[in-house]
A and B are shown apart, each in its own frame.
Chain A
Amino acid sequence: MIRAVGRLLMLATVALRNVRHGGRRTAAAILGTSLSLTLVLLQLGFLGAVRVTAVYLLEQLEFDAVLSSPSYDSLYDAGMVSLDRVEQASSHPNVEHGRPIWLMFAMWRCPPYPYDPGDPNGDDDPTIADDPKTGDSRPTGPQSFGEGSQAVIDKARTVIEAKQPLDALRDVLSGRYDVRPNFRRRELLAIGVDPFDQPFRDGPVADAIQSTREDLAIDARVLLNRLSHPDFGWDLRPQFSGWELDDSRVEVVGGFDVLKGFGADGGVITSRTTFLRHTRWPEPRSASVGLLKFRERDPDQVEQTLDAIRARLPDDVELLSRAQMLTRESDHWVKRTNTGLMFSAGVALAMVVAGVVVYQVLSSDVRNRLPEYATMKAIGYSNDAPVVIVVIQAAMLALLSYVPAVVMAQGLYWLTTSLAMIPMAMAARDLTTTLVLALVVGVGVSLLTVRKLRAANPADLF
């Protein structure tokens, strides 16, 4: 036993020496492997961003179970659930409260960019001719700027040049400083809640609603997502006042923070009454989903409660636990949207490429050292000794490549987040997947070379 461990240690030392004295050859091998691992981490990060943004909004909501329509597709296209069903479900003794929430896409009137301080309403493109507050008729003069007007472009350029280089790059890539007078209306996600009984978990969104609830309760007042695409105009909030939600004038009374995902570029939170009055929601007695909060929340109780409520509800509504809901939403984005499918294909491809690179690196190393292994055999080592060395060496190479790969991927994540404004975070699962991939492929490939090693014939040396 001890002898076996001793021999293993000895072979491990040989493997370490092989790596250490490989010089530029080993450096090239590590570079190649770590770049391909970086690629895997990057693609996993993209896919992870799809998952994270898919459930981000749901995760901010307080619920143990959710009532949704049978035609539920994703939170952005949820169908309708009758408020009666929400009440019916809430009458179960274990339900602390049931809260409806409304979500629907609505048109948002964005401030013009670049913003003209002399024209606080951005009057070139109003839907409504009159200001409801003052009763003044808005001037309906010619457009304040035409397409491609030189002055406007110059103005944009000064803004870009005043920024740090990366900021400017990001702004250009994200279209922020483009002169796009035509994109004055963009769709955002309107979220309707009861300001005095709001459904968000304790956190920044809940605080934002609670601190402005008196304001929000008044008709036509909204909170704008601070992290919305810049087009939606959060930055211009102090100066601009011509906000419109669908076709009616609204006032922005505050902001909240929800990550921008692949589903919507921006969002507003409104009171239920504002939502029903100013969006095109068709049925005031229905909501998008009903969120149920339970009193007893241990798994058995939750399961029993779910069964009991399901038994008393008709077919026009579905009841899912929190976990089921989150899984369904994330599966929808990863498996059913083209965005998710493309990122999944990217992950698969990156893994294959990484496998090929590792194979190449190792097999060329084995080939180069074949005479040395043959010598080992000539002086009496067993057939297995070179195999053990190569396997250990493969594991070392994998680990050595993994560390710089994580560092490089961190950098690329940061770059992607700032350029594409996608939330990229290194998940423990992705880190493990990549490490396991590197080790499994490395060791697997080194076992593939066993035949070559076994066949190493000392006589060939001469």
Chain B
Amino acid sequence: MSSRLLGPALLLAWRNLTENRLRLLSSVAGAAFAVILMFVESSFRDALLDSMTAVIRKLDGDLVLISRKLYTLGIPMSFPAQRLDLPRGFDDVEKVSPLYVETRRSRWRGPYNRGLDPHRAGRLPGDGEDSSPDAEPISPAPHRIRVIAYKPSDDLLNIPSVRESMAAWDAPEVALVDVRSKPRPYGPIPRNQDVELTNRRIRIVGDFELGTDFQNDGTLLMSEENFLDYFPERRGPTASDHKIDVGVIRVRPGTDVLRLKRSIAPILPRDVLVLTRDEFVAREQDFWGKVVPVGIVFNIGVAMGFVVGLAICYQVLFSDVADREAEFATLKAVGHRNGWLRLVVVFQGTFLALLGFVVGIGISQGALVPLIKHFTGLPLEFKPMGAVFILSLTVLMCVLSGLIAARRLQSTDPAQLFR
């Protein structure tokens, strides 16, 4: 095909598509919905893996020490803090700090929580016995909340608002709360207010942004000292017996992290493992991606979006081709080949794909994803690579349907025009 004919094909395809405004609108809407469907389903799938690894990805460290039995940070497995002394002996290691995660015993009871019975809401379970003067009415129905803790001075989480408020949460009986915690079980996020954590009063002195996941509806952050107070079963007789969940290792600048990892590994006892942060993320994703079936379900969702999109585009292009059969027949009569006609339809499909993609990405990223993010608190991030993947799926979908729709043109006979 000579390139001289490409320009007219593009132009004709564009004119065909945009001739009727209303029709253009309905065609683009069809393609856009397929795009939205694929976008939303794939961001659900990503959300599963991203949310489960959010804490790990925010860790400000190069290597981590975890219990050998730990298979997901959603179900913490602690080990004695003593294990941290071993990597401390290496010259390249700058600092080793303990991180605590509690998801099972930590129960939050906020001023807004309500039990099932409306008449009971607003009363303490043992009203009367509790005579502390500043007792605010706090309702029953405590709800599980994830608690993350470390020494504020260790600065383990790479979250700006946590770093800025370091002085505020380095005090007794205070904590920071994740603003993305779900409003449903916890109520509106309290600020400078007392709530209950595992039946003890705690003051919320600030907030940060992390996000929920499939195991946790919300997160509290507190100092190591507070954590050991609220969860005394984690406290050992000495500091090196405290039960910690992750040891975060920071190395000196310019260190070969993998080599350091290989030299630390052999000296560790069998109950702990050393991993790079990326390996830790990969391990966590491996568990959630393969073991929990939700990922497969959303992949099926993306595939269905593609198939439905294919059907929508075929419907649009086919009816357009059928309507213009006379015009195409005339083009054939004046000497254009089948291939060129097919190219026109494919171009039309590509334009449709691009328009549908732009509208689809606009609606899903501009309206739907923020909405779902608000209701679930999940970290639905926009991923350029994911968008490119969906764009290629969209173009493929429209080109394929264009090729199928253009099959009709093979048999178009100019003579039919005059029947």
A contact residues vs B (CB 8 Å cutoff)? 24-25, 28-29, 31-32, 35-36, 38-39, 42-43, 46, 70-73, 77, 105, 107, 125, 173-175, 178, 180, 182-187, 229, 231, 262, 265, 315-316, 318, 320, 328, 335-339, 341-342, 345-346, 349-350, 352-353, 356-357, 359-361, 363-364, 367-368, 412, 415-416, 419-422
- A265 — which chain B residues lie within 8 A by C-beta? 291
Contact of B140 with A420 in the complex, beta carbons under 8 Å: no
Q: Are B290 and A175 in contact (CB under 8 A)?
A: yes
Q: Is there an interface contact between B34 and A422, defined as CB atoms closer than 8 Å?
A: no
B296 touches A173 (CB 8 A): yes
Q: Smallest Cβ distance from B359 to chain A, in angstroms?
A: 12
Q: Are the CB atoms of A70 and B69 closer together than 8 Å?
A: no
Residues of A close to B304: CB separation below 8 A: 38-39, 42, 412
Interfacial chain A residues near B323, Cβ < 8 Å: 368
Which A residues are in CB contact (< 8 Å) with B351? Answer: none
Instruction: Name 15 interchain pairs, CB-CB below 8 A, sorted by A.
Output: A24-B318, A28-B314, A28-B315, A28-B318, A36-B312, A70-B116, A180-B286, A182-B68, A328-B116, A338-B51, A338-B212, A349-B36, A350-B37, A353-B33, A360-B26
Say whether, besides A71-B140, A342-B376, A336 and B184 are in contact (CB < 8 Å): yes
Which residues from B are CB-within-8-Å of A42?
300-301, 304
Kindly identify, within residues 12 to 33 of chain B, every residue whose CB is under 8 Å from any CB belonging to chain A: 23, 26-27, 29-30, 33
Q: Are A346 and B117 in contact (CB under 8 A)?
A: no
Q: How far is the CB of B235 from chain A (nearest CB, A)?
A: 17
Residue among A43, A182, A352, A420 making CB contact with B293, cutoff 8 Å: A420
**Residue B408 interfacial (CB < 8 Å):** yes
Q: What per-residue 1/0 map shows which CB atoms of B311-354 lie under 8 Å from chain A?
A: 11011101100110000000000000000000000000000000
Q: Point out the residues of chain A lying under 8 angstroms from B283, CB to CB.
A: 182
Contacting residues, chain A, for B308 (C-beta < 8 A): 32, 35-36, 39, 353, 357
Q: Tell me whether B213 and A420 are in contact (CB under 8 A).
A: no
Contacts of B69 in A (CB 8 A): 107, 125, 184-185
A35–B140 CB distance below 8 A: no
Contacts of B169 in A (CB 8 A): none
Chain A residues contacting B314 (CB-CB under 8 Å) are: 28, 31-32
The answer to whether B140 touches A70, judged by C-beta atoms less than 8 angstroms apart, is: yes
Closest 3 CB pairs of A and B: A175-B290, A420-B293, A70-B140
Q: Are A46 and B297 in contact (CB under 8 A)?
A: yes
**Residues of the A chain whose Cβ atoms lie less than 8 Å from the Cβ of B51:** 338
Q: Is B11 in contact with chain A by the CB < 8 A criterion?
A: no
Contact B312 A360 (CB under 8 A): yes
Is there contact, CB below 8 Å, between B291 and A352? no
* A298-B152 Cα distance, complex, nearest whole Å: 60
- Asked if B382 is at the interface (CB within 8 A of a chain A CB), the reply is no
By a CB distance below 8 angstroms, the chain A residues around B322 are 25, 368
Pairwise interchain contact B214-A25, C-beta atoms closer than 8 A: no
**A187 neighbours in B (Cβ, 8 Å):** 75
The answer to whether B319 and A25 have CB atoms under 8 Å apart is yes
In Å, the complex CA distance between A335 and B183 comes to 13
Given that A71-B142, A345-B372 are contacting pairs, would A353 and B291 also be in contact in the complex, using a CB cutoff of 8 Å?
A: no
B312–A32 CB distance below 8 A: yes
Contact between chains at B318 and A25 (CB < 8 Å): yes
Chain B residues 353 to 408 lying within 8 A of chain A, measured CB to CB, are: 368, 372, 375-378, 408
Residues of B276-297 contacting chain A, CB below 8 A: 283, 286-287, 290-291, 293-294, 296-297
Interface of B is mostly: helix
Which residues of chain B are within 8 angstroms of A174 by Cβ–Cβ distance? 290-291, 293
Which residue of chain B has its CB nearest to the CB of A176?
B290
B144 contacts partner chain A, Cβ-Cβ < 8 Å? yes
Partner of B291, one of A229, A316, A346, A357: A229
- Which A-chain residue is minimally distant from B123 (CB atoms)? A315
Q: Which residues of A contact B120 (CB under 8 A)?
A: 70, 315
Roughly how many angstroms separate A422 CA and B300 CA in the complex, as a whole number? 13
Whether A346 contacts B311 by the Cβ 8 Å rule is: no
Besides A178-B286, A182-B68, A346-B44, 20 other A-B contacts (C-beta < 8 A): A24-B318, A36-B311, A43-B301, A46-B297, A70-B116, A70-B140, A71-B107, A105-B75, A185-B69, A185-B71, A315-B123, A328-B116, A338-B212, A346-B40, A356-B29, A356-B312, A357-B311, A416-B296, A420-B297, A422-B297
The distance from the CB of A106 to the nearest CB of chain B, in whole angstroms, is 11
Q: Give every chain B residue within 8 A of A356 (Cβ-Cβ).
A: 29-30, 33, 312
Q: Does B125 reach chain A (CB closer than 8 Å)?
A: yes
Chain A residues contacting B144 (CB-CB under 8 Å) are 73, 77
Q: A175-B291, A336-B185, A356-B33 are in contact. Are A35 and B311 (CB under 8 A)?
A: yes
B258 interface hit (Cβ, 8 Å): no
Partner pick for B37 among A349, A412, A419, CB 8 A cutoff: A349
B395 to A: closest C-beta gap in Å? 19
Q: Is the CB of B71 within 8 A of A183?
A: yes
Chain B residues with Cβ below 8 Å from A350 are: 37
Question: How many angstroms between the C-alpha atoms of A295 and B27 in the bound complex?
Answer: 63
Q: B307 within 8 Å of A by Cβ? A: yes
Contact of A178 among B290, B296, B297, B312 (CB under 8 A): B290
In the complex the two chains form, what is the Cα distance from A229 to B292 in whole Å? Answer: 10
Q: Which of A77, A185, A338, A356 has the most CB of B within 10 A?
A: A338
Minimum CB–CB distance from A280 to chain B (whole Å) comes to: 9
Q: Which of B170-226 contact A (CB under 8 A)?
A: 182, 184-185, 212-214, 217
CB neighbours of B23 from chain A (8 A)? 367
Assess whether A318 is in contact with B214, with CB atoms less than 8 Å apart.
Answer: no
For the complex formed, measure the closest distance between the CB of A456 and the CB atoms of chain B, giving whole angstroms: 16
User: How far does the alpha carbon of A454 sit from the alpha carbon of B240 in the complex, in Å?
Assistant: 85
B143 at the interface (CB under 8 A from A): yes
The reply to whether A357 and B312 contact each other, CB–CB distance below 8 Å, is yes
Chain B residue with the shortest CB-CB distance to A186: B71
Complex Cα distance, B200 from A73, in Å, reads: 20
Neighbouring B residues of A25 by C-beta, 8 Å: 318-319, 322
Say if the beta carbon of B50 comes within 8 Å of chain A.
no
Q: Which residues of B contact A43 (CB under 8 A)?
A: 301
The reply to whether the CB of B236 lies closer than 8 angstroms to some CB of chain A is no
A128 to chain B, nearest CB (A): 13
Q: Which of A173, A184, A337, A353 contacts B34 (CB 8 A)?
A: A353
Instruction: For A310, give the chain B residue with the smallest CB separation.
Output: B117
